[in-house]
Structures are given as C-alpha cells and as structure tokens.
C-alpha cells in the first residue's frame, strides 16, 4: 500500500489520532535513513503484507529478526505505524519487520491471528536471504498487536500447521497487550473481533499459559489504561507459574501511547531490554 495513500479508517479518540500522526511522521523519517523493502506480500489479501527494514551493511554473522504487530483494538492500524521503531533495532544489527494483518469487523477471529502466523512463516523461510537467522525470530506487538503476539506465542501447536518448528518464536515482547477478553474489554470491540458465540477464553492469552516455555518480556505504562495495566500484572503472574523465562517492565510516566512511541529510541528502558534479549537469547 502506498505510504501516503493508506485506506481510510474510522476516526479514533483524539489521543489515538495524535499517536497515529506521530507514528506516520516518524516512520517517514525512518524510511529516509534506513534501508527497507516495503509491501512484501505474505498472502494474497491486500492487507497481508510486511515492511522489512535492514541495517546499512549485512554483518558476517546471521542477524536476529524482530517482527512487530501494530495496535488499534483489532479494528484500526497500519504497518506504517511502526516503521519508526526500525532504526533502534537495525543498528543492533538486526532485521525489523512491521506486519500488516486483516482487521475487524471485515474479518473475525482467528483471521488476524492466522495472518500473523503466516507472516511469521514468511520470516522463517526468507530472512536468511537478507542476512537473518531463522532460528532467532522475536515476536512483539503493541496493544491489540501485543494480544496477537502473546496468543500466538502461547500456542506453539499452531506453528506446525505452517510448517514451523514449535520453538520458532525465540521470545515474545508484548507491550500494553490485551490478555483477557473479559467484560472489562469494551463490548463493541469484542463484537467486532469475535464471531457470534465464539469463546472469549479461547481468544485470551492468559488462558493459554499452561506449560509455556517461550520467554516473555512484558511491558506496560505506569499510566496505561487501567484494564490493561491490571491485565499486564495478572499475565506476568500467570506466566511466572510456568517454566518459561519472564521479565516485566512498568515504564514510569508512560501512558498507553507513549510507551509505544518510546520504542523507537534505543536509549529507553524497553528498547534497551529488548535489544539485550535479542543479543542474549
């Protein structure tokens, strides 16, 4: 999709509109100074595309890859929202992939999850072409993207349906994610995302933690939406009962949008910890 001709979406809250404007402005800046390959298809639908960002020079060793999923409460968002994060990670060096996926209510769950799985499969098959290491794929996302990332990482049996090993996700980095689709999630969003009669538990990451071995680095803003703040702490507690490594960050002073906006600054706490994980895992 053309960067400055994105398909229109319904208006959001003023805070969300300001966040979207920040993201698009800073993604445009990032693209002017970062090597990239835009609109690479991983499927046949208009929305099934990725943007790939690369370091200036390919190092001698194979690089890790961070795939990141945009937020928007499953009904809004573009992969172009997240290109601003790329410079903080290609400097590692690493590959950075911003994923587009089909949105609700045009599609219902699990369509978006299936798209994210297909994008992961594309990365597993193709990152070596760009100097990446298919054995070091990291998956993250903000808000609704954090929900999808966690839901995928906690169901490794789904990976086999796309020919992936069950440990294809090296670690998961959800930011201000939705971890439980309980009654405190707005009903209009649930109606848009879930098909009538669909199980909220089946679509809730917190109900899939049993037996988890995938490492998780979770983050939430100190001033995040109250429901997501509470869910982040509950999710961290649930994951700590399992075998997988867990690290939890509460980002001081940040709200739901500021925590994402900090993702493009390598000197912020979240970016520092993600970069460290990508080097260590």
Flag whether 6 is in a domain: no
Flag whether 232 is in a domain: yes
Flag whether 189 is in a domain: yes
pLDDT score recorded for residue 58: 85
Flag whether 8 is in a domain: no
Q: In total, how many domains does the chain have?
A: 1
205: domain CATH number is: 3.40.50.1820
Give the residues across from 172 on adjacent strands: 139, 216
The tens digit of pLDDT for each residue in 206-256 reads 999 999 999 999 999 999 999 999 999 999 999 999 999 999 999 999 999
Domain span holding position 170:
14-280
Flag whether 88 is in a domain: yes
Nearest-angstrom CA–CA distance, 5 and 7: 6
pTM: 0.97
Nearest in space to 280 (alpha carbons), one of 69, 95, 138: 138
Flag whether 166 is in a domain: yes
**Is residue 55 predicted with pLDDT exceeding 80?**
yes
Flag whether 1 is in a domain: no
Q: What is the mean pLDDT of residues 20-43?
A: 97
Q: How confident is the model at residue 182 (pLDDT cuts 50, 70, 90)?
A: confident
Counting Cα atoms < 13 Å in the Cβ hemisphere of 2 gives 4
pLDDT score recorded for residue 271: 98
């Amino acid at each position: 999709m053309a960067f400055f001709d994105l398909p229109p979406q319904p208006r959001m809250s003023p805070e969300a509109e300001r966040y979207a404007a920040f993201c698009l402005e800073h993604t445009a800046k990032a693209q002017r100074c970062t090597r990239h390959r835009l609109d690479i298809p991983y499927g046949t639908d208009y929305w099934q595309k990725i943007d790939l960002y690369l370091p200036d020079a390919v190092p001698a060793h194979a690089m890790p890859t961070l795939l990141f999923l945009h937020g928007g409460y499953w009904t809004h968002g573009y992969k172009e929202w997240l290109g601003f994060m790329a410079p903080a990670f290609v400097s590692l060096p690493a590959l950075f992939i911003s994923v587009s996926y089909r949105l609700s209510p045009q599609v219902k769950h699990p369509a978006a999850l299936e798209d994210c799985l297909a994008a992961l499969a594309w990365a597993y098959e193709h990152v070596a072409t760009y100097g990446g290491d298919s054995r070091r794929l990291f998956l993250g996302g903000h808000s609704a993207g954090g929900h999808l990332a966690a839901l995928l990482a906690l169901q490794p049996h789904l990976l086999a349906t796309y020919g992936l090993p069950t440990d294809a996700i090296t670690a998961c980095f959800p930011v201000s994610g939705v971890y439980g689709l309980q009654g405190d999630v707005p009903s209009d969003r649930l109606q848009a995302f879930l098909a009538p009669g669909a199980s909220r538990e089946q679509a809730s990451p917190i109900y899939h933690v049993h037996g988890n071995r995938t490492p998780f680095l979770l983050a939430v803003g100190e001033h995040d939406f109250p429901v997501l703040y509470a869910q982040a702490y509950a999710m961290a507690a649930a994951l700590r009962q399992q075998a997988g490594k867990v690290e939890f960050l509460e980002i001081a002073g940040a709200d739901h949008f500021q925590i994402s906006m900090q993702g493009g600054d390598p000197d912020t706490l979240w970016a520092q910890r993600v970069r460290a994980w990508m080097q260590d895992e």
